[in-house]
Amino acid sequence: MFRIEESFDTQLLAVQKNRPVVVFTEPLDPRVLEAVCHLTRFIKPVLLAPEVEVRRAAAQFLGHLDPSRVAYSLSECAYVDTAQRPDLVDEFSADCLTHPDCRRDVQNAEEARRAVASSGLFGVYAVHLGHADMVVGGASHAPRQFFRPMLALLANRPVVCEVGIFVLPDDFPEGYYPHNIVVFGDVGVNAVMTPEILAEVAVGTCAAARDLIPEDVLPEIHGAIVSYSHRGSDEGPSPEMVRRAIEIIPDLLARRVQSGARYASIRITGEVKFSAAISRRSAELYGMNGLSGGTNVIISPNLETGNLLYHLYAARFPTAKKFTVIFGVAFRGVDLAIDCTPEDVRLAVKATVLRLQRDGRWARTPKDTFFRRHRVLVVNPGSTSTKIAVYEADQEIWTREIQHTSEELAAFAGRRITDQYNFRRQAVLHALGEFGLTVDDLDAVCGRGGLLRPLPHGTYRVDQAILDDLRAGVCGDHASNLGALIAHELAAPAGKPAFIVDPVVVDEVPSRVKITGVKELPRRVVSHALNQIASARRYAQEHETFYENVNAIVCHLGGGISVGAHCRGRYIDVNNGLDGEGPFSAERSGSLPTGQLIDLCFSGKYTKTQMRHLNKGAGGLVDLLGTADLREVERRVAGGDAWAADVFDALAYQVAKAAAALLPAFEGQPVDRVILTGGMARSELLVKRLEYYLSGMPCGVTVYPGENEMVALAKGALRVLYGKEPAREYAPAEAVVR
């Protein structure tokens, strides 16, 4: 059987730009609530019920699901008790009184308020007026409570049709439908059919099938219209009406191809007898596959026929994958069958979201009523530049890297890095002004965390203790120390919060990690904590659970390399990437043979400064191959350079060895995933080599290439702004876990 849900997931991940806001009008229905628990990766759910009632229903009906999945999914939802939203009820009722279809059913403002406060109409109006992108209902609503208002308010075309899609089980004989995929239309809208409507339905049904089924599965979409053996009127389901519709189809299809090249693979070339559509024997006699390549879309000449076919197949093949999508409402409505299963709900929602994402015209929800788009400025200072970006929720809307010239920085020569904060603050304000924003337009400012005292992971509110330690440089002088200072100086005058997130000094390791064989040399914990933890969080979110529920080994592969163990929400072991410990990297030496290192230090060949530079800056690939560019190394390997190939292999081997060496940190718990991130994770050759060396670990490998620092900072601030976690207070004396 074609794995249609896996196909949807793959396609969605390839095209998803943002998560649409989807309103569920029947969230207390166990089938709908279970489906929601498998959809938060792709949508932002709004549940039209009080949160306490939803959680009670989850406890009562969803005991068979993983509790962590349920808890995570419910934390991602917005809950709306329509009785507690008079602002929206007023807005919706005012529109209702002006809309001809809605106005027909209400006599006055009070009746309009009662009508729009019902969950079905409330959900439809939320989409109609831009508060959400999609509404899902029909599992228990009568048609007049949901389906009819949805069509009346959301239809964007003169002709609307409902398309039923089946993936038949493997025991269905081969040769009838390619890959056992069959599509029916119209199955629920058009009671009266004309040749013009039938032609629109035929093209719309085939277009929906093309949107959802990849071309490598069905290279062509072959449609055929059901024809009856008797003769009827031109307005009835007769062969004459079918043939007139077929004459109209080429022009409609040509216009459809202009909107998307993929529709050129649609063929609507003939008729199919009704008996052949419902009977295996008749299909053999009439030749269901008489059309080239096999018919996979059957268009019905009236609602009764389509509805009959859909329910016949549903009853005959209870294990089939089935769902419906609606053509003609701009992907804004999902109509559920009364007998739907949780899987049917998932498939219908994913299919509609996929069509919305593929359409290309949708970017984000018009209004942020249910999921506020907090605006966060992110500040990430480097030695000669300052990266800044503005995020609305987790979407980057503007970014700039401010370059600081040598002439500008000359004024600070010989002074501490923190003396630059006012100069850099002004540069950030100037750039922000060019974008048309001031600090008053922001909800928070988040800076890159600096060299503070060791602390647990999390988002920290910048307070006086942080400012004092950074200004004093108690743990070192580094450009990242400017992040909190600039964030505070920008935010405080406007009364906005300033944060830092997961600085390099995050230290949650037990004492066994720090003990070495020399008492005077306990191991320090300094790493790429921001990207390490963000990558583990991302993996957890993509699997619809919390960081606190996963075990992951994260390999940050950049100018420095850190390989860390993340055990159920704690960062419990990592090499000191700052000092070059662990695998060698682009410019760091990595761990070295101790005896030989001692001899080299006292050989007189190098000064202390030179040794430090060899350890960090001139080591690794720079020392071995004279370049820090992994792409250059790959070019040499491809050109037959044996030494470059040996070095490249050693790099991969040492990273994999460091990852495997972290297994004891989990104390027998299984590792869920090895995650590769950082700039070098863009190398397909390196990733393949690492996957080979790590193939003995059953957890598998996921790749998130790049540093991802800016979005990680924004998300850290947003977790606090959304109330998902409290802001931590800097308390260095209590920070280190022993």
The CATH number of whichever domain residue 576 belongs to comes to 3.30.420.40
Residue 347 CA to residue 335 CA, distance in Å, equals 12
Residue 554 resides in a domain: yes
Q: Which of 154, 178, 204 is the last residue of a domain?
A: 154
605 DSSP 8-state letter: S
Residue 638: its H or E element:
helix 630-638
How far apart are the C-alpha atoms of 208 and 196, rounded to whole Å? 18
User: Is the peptide bond prior to 186 cis by the omega test (within 30 degrees of 0)?
Assistant: yes
**Contacting residues for 451 by C-beta, under 8 A, at least 6 apart:** 470, 473, 474, 475, 476, 477, 478, 480, 481, 503, 504, 505
CATH number for position 239? 3.40.50.10750
Does any domain span residue 642? yes
User: From the CB of residue 430, how many other CB atoms can be counted at a distance below 10 Å?
Assistant: 10
Structural domain for 389, as ranges: 372-505
Tell whether 483 is covered by a domain: yes
| Nearest CA-CA partner of 448 in 59, 174, 708 | 708
> Among 460, 467, 462, which Cα is nearest to 491's?
462
Q: Do 255 and 306 belong together in one domain?
A: yes
**pLDDT on residue 529:** 96
> Is residue 490 located within the same domain as residue 610?
no
Q: How many CA atoms lie within 13 A of 437 on its CB side?
A: 23
Q: What is the structure's pLDDT at 273? A: 62
- The CB density around residue 217, as the number of other CB atoms within 10 Å, is 14
End-of-domain residue from the set 324, 355, 389: 324
- DSSP 3-state helix, strand, coil percentages of the chain (rounded to 5)? 45, 15, 40
Question: Which amino acid does the sequence have at 726?
Answer: P
Task: With respect to residue 536, please indicate whether it lies within any of the assigned structural domains.
Answer: yes
Residue 571 near residue 508, CB atoms below 8 Å: yes
Spatial neighbors of 325 by CB under 8 A, at least 6 apart, are: 162, 163, 165, 208, 212, 334, 348, 351, 352, 355
User: Do 146 and 273 lie in a common domain?
Assistant: no
**Domain count across the chain:** 4
Nearest to 571 by CA among 631, 644, 510, 497: 510
As given in the structure block, the two tokens for residue 584 are: 């060698």
**Does 657 lie in the same domain as 543?**
yes
Burial class (CB in 10 A: 0-12, 13-18, 19+), 6: exposed
Could you give the CA distance from residue 76 to residue 413 in angstroms, rounded to a whole number? 49
Same domain for 559 and 589, yes or no, is yes
Residue in 706, 707, 702 with CA at minimum distance from that of residue 676:
702
Query: Which DSSP symbol is given to 515?
Result: -
**Domain CATH for 133:** 3.40.50.10950
Could you tell me if 24 and 98 lie in one domain? Answer: yes
User: Do 404 and 430 reside in the same domain of the chain?
Assistant: yes
Residue 120 and residue 146 share a domain: yes
Please calculate the CA angle 147-148-150 and round it to the nearest 5 degrees.
65
231/318 same-domain check: yes
* Residue 286 contacts residue 270 (beta carbons within 8 Å): no
> Token pair for residue 699?
């957890």
303 within some domain: yes
- Alpha-carbon span 416 to 413, nearest angstrom: 8
Report how far residue 715's alpha carbon sits from residue 721's, in angstroms, rounded to the nearest whole number: 10
**349 within some domain:** no
CB-based contacts of 414: which residues, under 8 Å, 6+ apart?
Answer: none
Q: Are residues 131 and 209 in the same domain?
A: no
Apex 503 CA angle, 680 and 558, nearest 5: 10
Q: Output the pLDDT for position 733.
A: 57
CA 617 to CA 595: how far, in whole Å? 22
**Cα–Cα distance measured from residue 455 to residue 438, given in angstroms and rounded to the nearest whole number:** 32
pLDDT of 308: 85
With residue 38 as reference, give the H or E element that holds it.
none
Based on the fold, state whether residues 240 and 266 are members of the same structural domain. Answer: yes
- Measured between alpha carbons, how far is 472 from 466 in angstroms, rounded to an integer? 10
Residue with tokens 């035929």: 202
Same domain, 536 and 586: yes
Domain-located, residue 362: no
pLDDT at residue 291 in the model: 38
**Cα Rg, the chain, nearest whole Å:** 31
Length of the chain, in residues: 738
Which DSSP string corresponds to 423-487?
HHHHHHHHHHHHHT--GGG-SEEEEE--S-S-B-SSEEE--HHHHHHHHHTTT---GGGHHHHHH
Whose structure tokens read 């410019």? 587
CA–CA gap between residue 145 and residue 115 (Å, rounded): 9
CA atoms of 681 and 687, how far apart (whole Å):
6
Q: Is the dihedral of CA 90, 121, 359, 400 positive or negative?
A: positive
User: Is residue 310 in some structural domain?
Assistant: yes
Average pLDDT for consecutive 10-residue bins of the chain (738 residues)? 93 94 98 98 98 98 96 98 96 94 86 95 97 97 93 93 92 79 89 89 95 94 76 56 89 93 90 59 42 71 82 89 95 95 97 94 95 97 94 94 92 89 93 93 96 96 96 90 95 96 96 95 94 97 96 96 97 92 95 95 96 94 97 97 98 98 97 97 98 95 95 98 96 54
pLDDT for position 34 = 98
Q: What are phi and psi of 498, to 5 degrees?
A: -120, 140
Write down which residue in 154, 189, 219 finishes a domain.
154
